[in-house]
Amino acid sequence: MEYTTLQHTDIEVSKICLGTMTWGRQNTEAEGHEQMDYAVDQGINFFDTAELYPIPAHPDRYADTEKIIGTWFKKNGNRDKIVLASKIAGKADFTKFIREIGFTRETVTNAVELSLKRLQTDYIDLYQLHWPDRNTNFFGKRGFEYDLSDHWKDNIHQLLETFRDLIQEGKIRQVGLSNETPWGLMRFLEESKVHASLPRTVTIQNPYSLLNRQFEVGLSEISIREKVGLLAYSPLGFGTLTGKYLGGMKPATSRITLFPNYTRYSNETSVKATEKYHKLAQENNLSMAQMALAFVNTRPFVTSNIIGATTMDQLKENIASIDVKLSDEVLAGIEAIHDEFPNPAP
């Protein structure tokens, strides 16, 4: 395994992060425990979860993923060996069963307290806002469209004050964002620069894959110059970049088959691009999944690559991508396909 650090901290994390959002829906508690056991044996020390998980969100399964991680910590007594990240869900129609208002001191503090209980721990290493409180472009929206009815009141200073107090209480260690835009990231950074007592944002968790490289436009420069590491999620595009959906295939237990509304990586242009990436991988005797993950692993702005799996074979293949080194020829081939099909899956 390779390791890096969360920027501006001394917290060392594995370059591969174990994603958990299928545990409690597509995976049982026992399977979640098995995945964590194997990941740790392979040198992974970084887990990412959220109060919203498992996905799709549902009141009957609310926060079951955090509970599964909590029982694993209790069983193994190894909390101190894991860098743990979690998130608070934003305001949305599909999260009304969690809370009906956005981020406030009360909602954030309460969410942290509940996550700590479920996770059976005293602290969370990295606490993230799952998506912005305001109306902007995320979750598959290409561009920002201003809504005249949007009366969002800037609450970023108050949020950072809340995070500062939670850090001082020892309940969280660092702060990160997710599904954030360049404006949002810089707004958080500038607030902590002007007010030195406020915590600095150290990570941003956004989608990044061969099918979605929008992070490279705007956010990558901020990431490098301001030293805010990307935690890349969906590096396989809901499994699309494994090739398992090519030719119209619909594996019975796959995510897109089970949840057909997840169409982010299934449009016609994404399919054409995936076919080209698949051919490139075959021509170079590579697994397409490992080629896709290895590409993400090598990007200079990536702190950790969040992989997820529903089977142990998938997990083993994904983790092993850390040992795959892409040739100049393969990298040139990837760029040629990207030039032909730039960011087909926003």
Q: What is the largest CA-CA distance in the chain?
A: 55
Which residues, 6+ apart, have CB-to-CB distance to 269 below 8 Å? 341, 344
- Helices 268-283 and 328-340 pack at an angle, to 10 degrees, of 160
CB 130 within 8 A of CB 142: no
SS3 state at 296: helix
Q: Cα–Cα distances in Å, from 122 out to 175, 180, 269, 326?
A: 16, 27, 46, 41
The DSSP symbol for 130 reads S
Question: Residue 178 and residue 128: Cα distance in Å, rounded?
Answer: 7
Active-site residue flag, 53: yes
8 A C-beta contact, residue 5 and residue 11:
yes
User: Choosing from 53, 208, 233, 245, which is the catalytic residue?
Assistant: 53
312 close to 241: Cβ distance less than 8 angstroms: no
Q: What is the dihedral of CA 108, 59, 232, 34, to 10 degrees?
A: 110
d(CA 70, CA 30): 13
Just list the catalytic residues: 53
